């Protein structure tokens, strides 16, 4: 009998197929391979082919927009939103529109074309996290922005148009719907219990341990109770932290290795799948609070979203999280984090 | 400058790229082709390879589960939900689960393997609509079900696992999230204006006519103001009808040709794209009301849903609906509906 499970934060139901659970080998898909065959604007020497750099980490004193960087942030050449101008909110009969104001930046995580976050040294992954934080802190100063989303599309099937490993940041003039749903659900729970729903959930996971993939002193990596997608994973701080940008040095020192570890496990279990990840953090205007808890969601691209999902907003997940947890646990690659 | 547009029903924002609008030829994709090369359980003579038929249209007096039908409804062989049992709602600490009770049926639209809804005679498309209605009316009698979703996955990229043209019906024990959002938004609008937001929107579209693709006496086909996807289309009754199952003979006589017409135009403009469609109707327990208006949403599968969409619930649509409307209007195939 399939099972309906309710996400404790948003109230979204998912259908978990328990009878014929799909194993990793059941998912037909293309392996993400780095071919390096075409021109890459993110490699050394091609700095002039991207918009000018917004920020870079350089330890060798090299000049802006030249090689020598270890991480580089530039504006997206084909931005989804424009940085200049005002919102100019307008009505059109019963419709509402405004200018698509926002920032759209690309974090080029390494100059090395053949690397991924799963293969970079943890210290370099830490730099990526610092870059996320630095850019968020800077963009928060712009009063037009209500939310900053960090995300990563890895592999063509997951929407990546360039194979050189990179993340993206989009600053938005409105709080996105998914975040409003999570924040709303978390507030409601807090109003009822005076506890953070994420903290309660993490506490329960640490007790039952059927969905914990790995942990270290500060972070937990788990399969959520009601995941939309097979092998979906979340990484969250164990203690209550509402915003990603509050993270400090010791946080990133522990987040970097667990993130790298999870991506290595994914590569091992699912043979280099395409995936997305994204960071959900509190909206700018309520950055520090007792109800919301930042986390990173990893979504391997294994299934197709079809008519049922578009029509309902529900998801059919053919792999129970308890099963995916087992596979991911067994795939500990180097020194396991648990 | 890109534009942010708000869906008047759900309040969801979409980002419409207005500068470099993508034309039909910009979307790289595989043409949906009917190959007919492998064994098909939906063809004549293979009736025993599906679960027994729930209903069929037969004008020749042929026996159940034998050839002779023109349309056939069977249970899905690999159902997402199970029909037998009780919900058995349970808690597990802070989590909620219940048995995945529901119906999952397949409407085999024609015995002819090479046809699609775009190529079938309008009279046969009408039969498909009658089958939708008949099954919904029957399943509404089961007190466990709160919602019936009709949907179609056309082409492998849109999630179809069999190429023989078919639709699906899933009866759910809960009202899906997307429907709750639409019904909630519509109720709120009604509370404020005492008018149906869909009726108001249709009235405005008929005045401005920049997003009307086609119409006949009873139905309108339009590109919504804030579509999530390029070339997304909606078909809705012009007069206020809250539930699809209320439709009568004269409704289906006009809905069938406009639906066929829209799918023909899609095939022409986008060269046989994969697509999903789905019917949004009022929940079972509030079938007839003044605020919700049933409609059919057609979603061609042209873009990839990636990290930004998963993280925000917002969509980036590279083709303004006014542009897609122009292409779809020009693609009138036979006798145009306008």
Over residues A63-71, the mean pLDDT reads 97
- The pLDDT score that the predictor gives to residue B1 is 86
Cβ-Cβ contacts under 8 Å between A and B: the total is 212
* B62: closest CA of chain A, how far (Å): 33
Burial B157-186 (b: 16+ CB within 10 A, else e): bbbbeebbbbbbbbbbbbbbbbbbbbbebb
Rounded mean pLDDT, A240-259:
97
Residue A92 CB partners (closer than 8 Å, separation 6+)? B225
pLDDT confidence of B17, banded at 50, 70, 90? confident
In a domain, B335, yes or no: no
State residue A85's pLDDT score: 87
pLDDT more than 90, % of chain B: 89
Specify if A335 maps to a domain: no
Among B104, B154, B166, B293, the active-site one is B166
Per-residue pLDDT for B22 more than 90? no
Query: Quick check: A152 contacting B, CB < 8 Å?
Result: yes
Stretch B177-188: mean pLDDT = 96
CB A315, CB A229: distance < 8 Å: yes
Q: Indicate whether B336 belongs to any domain.
A: no
CA A151 to chain CA centroid, nearest Å: 5
Give me the interface pTM, i.e. the ipTM: 0.92
Greatest alpha-carbon pair distance for chain A in Å reads: 62
Question: Residues near B324 by Cβ (< 8 Å), separated by ≥ 6?
Answer: B223, B227, B230, B231, B232
Range of the domain at A128: 3-78+98-330
pLDDT at A19 over 90: no
Partner A contacted by B91 (CB < 8 A):
no
Place of tokens 């139901």: A13
**Is B151–A6 a contact, with Cβ atoms under 8 angstroms apart?**
no
* Residue of chain A with shortest Cα separation from B309: A178
Mean pLDDT of the A147-162 span: 96
Interface probe with B: pick from A196, A308, A316, most Cβ of B within 10 Å: A308
Quick: pLDDT tens for A156-205.
Answer: 999 999 999 999 999 999 999 999 999 999 999 999 999 999 999 999 99
In this prediction, residue A279 has a pLDDT band, given cuts at 50, 70 and 90, of very high
Best mutation target, A311, A314, A315, A321, to test chain B (most B CBs within 10 A): A311
B166 given a catalytic annotation: yes
The pLDDT, as a whole number, for residue B335 is 55
Interface contact A122, partner B, CB < 8 A: no
Sequence-distant (≥ 6) Cβ neighbours of residue B14 within 8 angstroms: B4, B5, B7, B226, B227, B228, B314, B315, B316, B317
At residue A105, the pLDDT reads 98
Residue A103 forms beta bridges with which residues? A171
Average pLDDT over residues B143-159: 96
Query: Residue B271: what are its φ and ψ, rounded to 5°?
Result: 55, 65
Alpha helices by DSSP H, listed for chain A, are: 122-139, 177-193, 197-208, 249-270, 307-312, 321-330
Residue B337 belongs to some domain of the structure: no
Contact across the interface for A179 and B96, Cβ inside 8 Å: no
At A190 the pLDDT is: 97
Q: What's the CATH code of the domain at A27? A: 3.30.428.10
Using pLDDT thresholds of 50, 70 and 90, give the confidence band for residue A77: very high
Q: Which residue of B has its CA nearest to A224?
A: B95
Q: Give exposure, A282-295, as e/b (b: 16+ Cβ within 10 Å).
A: bbbeebebebbbbb
Q: How far apart are the first and last CA of chain B?
A: 33
Number of domains in chain A: 1
pLDDT(A212) > 80:
yes
* Residues in a beta bridge with B6: A96, B13
Average pLDDT over residues B300-313: 94
Model pLDDT, residue B338? 45
By residue count, chain B amounts to 338
Catalytic residues of A: 166
For the cut 80, the answer to whether the pLDDT of residue A334 exceeds it is no
- pLDDT computed for residue A18 by the predictor: 77
Q: What is the pLDDT of residues A21-40, one digit of tens each?
A: 788 988 877 899 999 889 99
B296 strand-pairing partners:
B235, B279
For residue A337, tell me if it sits in a domain. Answer: no
* Percentage with pLDDT > 70 across chain B: 98
Q: Mean pLDDT for chain A?
A: 94
Mean pLDDT, all residues of chain B? 94
Q: What is the mean pLDDT of residues A9-31?
A: 86
Other C-beta atoms lying within 10 Å of the C-beta of residue B334: 9
Indicate whether A234 belongs to any domain.
yes
Q: Is the pLDDT of residue A338 over 70?
A: no
The pLDDT value recorded for residue B337 is 46
Q: How near does any CA of chain A get to the CA of B161, in Å? A: 11
Note the pLDDT tens digit of each residue in B91-143.
Answer: 999 999 999 999 999 999 999 999 999 999 999 999 999 999 999 999 999 99
Q: Do A8 and B94 touch (CB under 8 A)?
A: yes
Whether A20 has a pLDDT exceeding 80, the answer reads no
Q: Is A168 on the interface with B (CB under 8 A)?
A: yes
pLDDT of residue B332: 84
First to last CA, chain A: 33
- Confidence (pLDDT) at B245: 96
The partner residues of B150 in beta bridges, in order of sequence, read: B169, B279
| Interval A304-315 mean pLDDT | 94
């Amino acid at each position: 009998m399939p099972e309906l499970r309710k996400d404790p934060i948003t109230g979204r139901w998912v259908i978990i197929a328990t009878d014929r659970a799909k194993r990793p080998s059941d998912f037909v898909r293309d392996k993400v391979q780095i071919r390096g065959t075409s021109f890459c604007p993110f490699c050394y020497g091609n700095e002039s082919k991207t918009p000018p750099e917004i920020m870079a980490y350089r330890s060798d004193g090299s000049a802006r927009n030249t090689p020598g960087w270890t991480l580089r942030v530039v504006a997206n050449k084909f931005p989804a939103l424009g940085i200049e101008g005002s919102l100019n909110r307008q009505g059109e009969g019963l419709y509402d529109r405004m200018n698509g104001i926002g920032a759209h930046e690309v974090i080029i995580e390494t100059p090395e074309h053949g690397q991924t976050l799963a293969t970079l040294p943890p210290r370099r992954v830490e730099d990526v996290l610092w870059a996320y934080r630095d850019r968020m802190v800077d963009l928060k100063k712009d009063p037009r922005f209500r939310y900053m989303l960090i995300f990563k599309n890895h592999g063509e099937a997951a929407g990546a148009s360039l194979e050189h490993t990179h993340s993206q940041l989009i600053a938005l003039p409105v709080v996105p719907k998914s975040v409003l749903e999570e924040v709303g659900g978390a507030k409601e729970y807090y109003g009822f219990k005076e506890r953070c729903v994420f903290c309660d959930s993490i506490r329960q996971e640490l007790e039952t341990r059927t969905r914990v993939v790995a942990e270290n002193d500060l972070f937990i990596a788990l399969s959520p109770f009601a995941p939309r997608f097979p092998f979906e994973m979340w990484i969250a701080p164990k203690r209550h932290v509402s915003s990603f940008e509050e993270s400090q040095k010791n946080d990133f020192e522990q987040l970097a290795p667990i993130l790298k570890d999870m991506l290595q496990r994914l590569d091992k279990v699912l043979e280099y799948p395409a995936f997305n990840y994204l960071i959900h953090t509190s909206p700018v205007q309520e950055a520090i609070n007792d109800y919301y808890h930042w986390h990173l969601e990893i979504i391997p691209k294994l299934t197709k979203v079809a008519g049922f999902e578009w029509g309902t907003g529900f998801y059919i997940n053919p792999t129970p999280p308890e099963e995916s947890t087992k596979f991911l646990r067994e795939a500990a690659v180097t020194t396991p984090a648990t």
